[in-house]
Structure 1
Amino acid sequence: MGCSEWCKQEFKPCNFGFGKHLRPELTVTSQWPSLPPVIYLAWRWFAFAYHLAWLIVTVAAATIYTAGRATWFAYLTNWTYFLLTVDVLIEALASLVWYFRARNPNVDVVPETTTWYMKLSWFMYSITTTVVVLVGLTYWYDNHHCLCFFLAAGADDFYIDVQTHGITLVYVVLNLALTGVPVRIYHLIYPFAFAVLYTVFTVIYYYAGGVSKNGKRYVYKGVLDWADPNTSLTWISILAFVGIPVIHVLLVYGLHLVRVTIHNKCFGDDCMADNKVRQAEMTTLSDENTKSYCIA
């Protein structure tokens, strides 16, 4: 596919949404035909159980370390980890539904368009993947010089920090390599909306008298402190207008392209034959409906 054809496919208006797609089943299955569906399903449910357990640990630890102050929900890391856990649950449920649907002889295996649970799973994945990478890389960039100190001192929250900023990064990259969920450049608007939502929350939290886990009036010292709105807005703008596009387009979308390219090299003949059958089926639709499909 040439550059002009790629642009034509990628920047279709329908790629803002999660509706019609040539291969809807990719939103709930693995990219790799050689991976047994039951293994992929087991991966989904294992990931949910693992992240749910750690979510419970982080909430319990925050309650203990802050002497009962309800500050856990004030932090972007915890917002992100909660979102990741919900996302993994939705992906696990969607994969489970698809697993049994694919084995039901009375139901068409491949729907003409994405179902509601496929759309929901794809939507959550689009937000979570970019946001987790952004939060994780930002954290380690800001705290890499403290790593040896944390290890030596045995900080109480060291293992939680490694889990919520490190293991999550590993999980997201591994999941990005295994899953068949498409990544769209236009979908960067959804993690951006998440960032706006969190920013609005911190403003309300600040003026409602909210404090950090240390009892201070800021959430992130020198970065997100509405006593100094100019500094807060500067950092928020950098992360939202620079960080999110760079992470989403260069890293997340880039890794998606690498995955698809490797898949097409390894399974190209089967993939192309499958696409030709699907395109032939689509020609039976009206021209208007056919043009609305996002084939890329």
Structure 2
Amino acid sequence: MSGIKKYFKEQCQLRMCGLEHANPTEFYLSVWQTNRSATPLFILRLILFLGSLGIVLASSILYIQSGIYRFWFIYLTHWGITINVVTTGFATAVSARSFFYGPNRTKHQLPWYMKTYWILYNIAAPLAFLITLFYWTVLFEAGVQEELNYGLDIAVHGLNSLVMLLLVMTSAQPTRLLHLYQPVLFALLYFLFTLIFYLAGGVDMHQNPFVYYVLDWRRPGLTIGVGVLTGVLLVILYFLTIGFTLGRDAIANKLIEPSVYVKEEVPLRQPTDRTQTSV
């Protein structure tokens, strides 16, 4: 119990709402590493980025070929996989920056691209889990099929969560309790979008005046209720993401020598000393 109290005491400080962190190495090195090389995580993140990008392109191309591409942008699923692409893209960029130019030398002050990645990461992981859970438990049972290909349907609503789970479990940066406001604000943004969509006379690909039948603003009471319940589920899934993070760190601390994070000022790759001369 003392460990839980200590965790909440630390996490519930106002400064934890911010985006500063004492150890920038945790954004481009994995908890599972035994060295300071940025290469392993760079390669993995690049694969995750290309996989996510491939899913988005495949889905978009099918919508274009079917002549209904304008409807692609209204679904939360497509918002989610787009955020997956941007998140894994920033993750790759963070690792690439360290790989090509050496470690970030600032302390307690993250550069803008790390902060941006952290925000996207906080949103993308619980959102991916929400989309997968919501689709296969509610929409799929109701016969809703957003994608035009069943295989792609599985990729968009299943591989999206696998990608984010891999990103979470191979990273080292924390998932802060008070950063919960970030995915919640994103969810509120989409919820507001569905209302504006309805008021503007928008229709889905079947000419229904809503994006999802469970968010039909002709029945505002039910829609608000569904929105609140979905928001609660998102909060639970954010806590699950925190659980994944804490479990990852606890296991890694027992199995991996933590010296990988020592002496951040030491470059990941030693430059060649061109001043030395042969004897």
TM-score under structure 2 length normalisation = 0.85
Deviation string 1:225-252 (CA, Å, 9 cap, x unpaired) is 1111111111001111x11111111x10
* C-alpha distance in 2 between matches for 1:120 and 1:253: 19
* Residue-by-residue CA offset, 1:23-58 (whole Å, 9 max, x unaligned): 221123212223752121111122222211221111
Match of 1:247 among 229, 232, 237: 237
Q: Corresponding residue for 1:259?
A: 248
Partner of 1:141: 137
In structure 1, the partner of 2:192 is: 200
Q: In structure 1, how many angstroms separate the alpha carbons of the residues matched to 2:16 and 2:9?
A: 11
Structural RMSD (CA): 2.4
Structure 1 gaps of 5+ residues are: 279-296
Matched length: 260
**Match status 1:182 vs 2:180:** no
**What is the DSSP-based 3-state SS (H/G/I as helix, E as strand, rest coil) of the residue aligned with 1:256?**
helix
Tell me which residue corresponds to 2:119.
123
Aligned AA for 1:116?
A: W
Q: 1:231 aligns with which of 222, 234, 249?
A: 222
The residue type paired with residue 86 of structure 2 is V
Measure the CA separation in 1 of the matches of 2:106 and 2:102: 8
Contact 1:101–1:109 at 8 Å: present in 2 too? no
Report if the CA contact (8 A) 1:126-1:183 is conserved. yes
| Between structures 1 and 2, the one with greater helix share | 1
Matched residues in 2 for 1:44 and 1:53: separation?
A: 14
Counterpart amino acid of 2:241?
Answer: V
Say which SS state the counterpart of residue 100 (structure 1) adopts. helix
CA distance in 2: counterparts of 1:51 and 1:33, whole angstroms: 24
Give per-residue Cα distances to partners, 1:203-241, cap 9 Å, x unaligned.
1111212111212112111x111111111111001111x
- Indicate if the aligned counterparts of 1:27 and 1:182 stay in contact, CA closer than 8 A: no
Cα pair distance change 1:110/1:70, threshold 3 Å: same
Deviations 1:175-213 (A, max 9, x none): 211111210111111111001111111111112121112
3-state SS of the aligned residue for 2:59?
helix
**Structure 2 residue aligned with 1:83:** 83
CA–CA separation in structure 2 for the residues paired with 1:245 and 1:73: 24
Q: Give the whole-Å Cα distance in 1 for the aligned partners of 2:206 and 2:46.
A: 36
Percent identity of paired positions between Structure 1 and Structure 2: 25
Q: Retained in 2: the 8 A contact 1:188–1:244?
A: no
Contact 2:195 2:217 (C-alpha < 8 Å) held by counterparts: yes
**Amino acid aligned to 1:243:** L
Q: CA deviation at 1:143?
A: 5.1
2: CA distance between counterparts of 1:137 and 1:130?
A: 10
Question: What does 1:160-171 align with in structure 2 at a 5 Å threshold?
Answer: 160-171=152-163
- The one-letter amino acid paired with 2:100 is F
Match of 1:173 in 2: 165
**What displacement does 1:112 show?**
4.0
CA distance in 1 between partners of 2:161 and 2:25 (Å): 25
Q: Tell me how far 1:77 sits from its aligned partner.
A: 0.4
Distance in 2, Cα, partners of 1:91 & 1:44? 6
Q: Which runs of 5+ in 2 are unaligned?
A: 265-279
Q: Say whether residues 1:63 and 2:89 are aligned partners.
A: no
Contact 1:72–1:78 (CA under 8 A) maintained in structure 2: yes
Alpha-carbon distance in structure 1 between the residues aligned to 2:190 and 2:199: 14
Aligned to 1:166, the other structure's residue is in SS state helix
The yes-or-no answer on 1:97 pairing with 2:87 is no
Q: Which residue of 2 aligns with 1:209?
A: 201
Distance 1:57 1:269 in 2: 41
Measured at CA, do residues 206 and 143 of structure 1 come closer, stay the same or move farther in structure 2, by a change above 3 Å?
Answer: closer
Could you state the TM-score of these two structures normalised by the residue count of structure 1? 0.80
Q: Which amino acid aligns with 1:196?
A: L
Give the whole-Å Cα distance in 1 for the aligned partners of 2:93 and 2:258. Answer: 31
**Mapped contact 2:38–2:95 kept (Cα < 8 A):** no
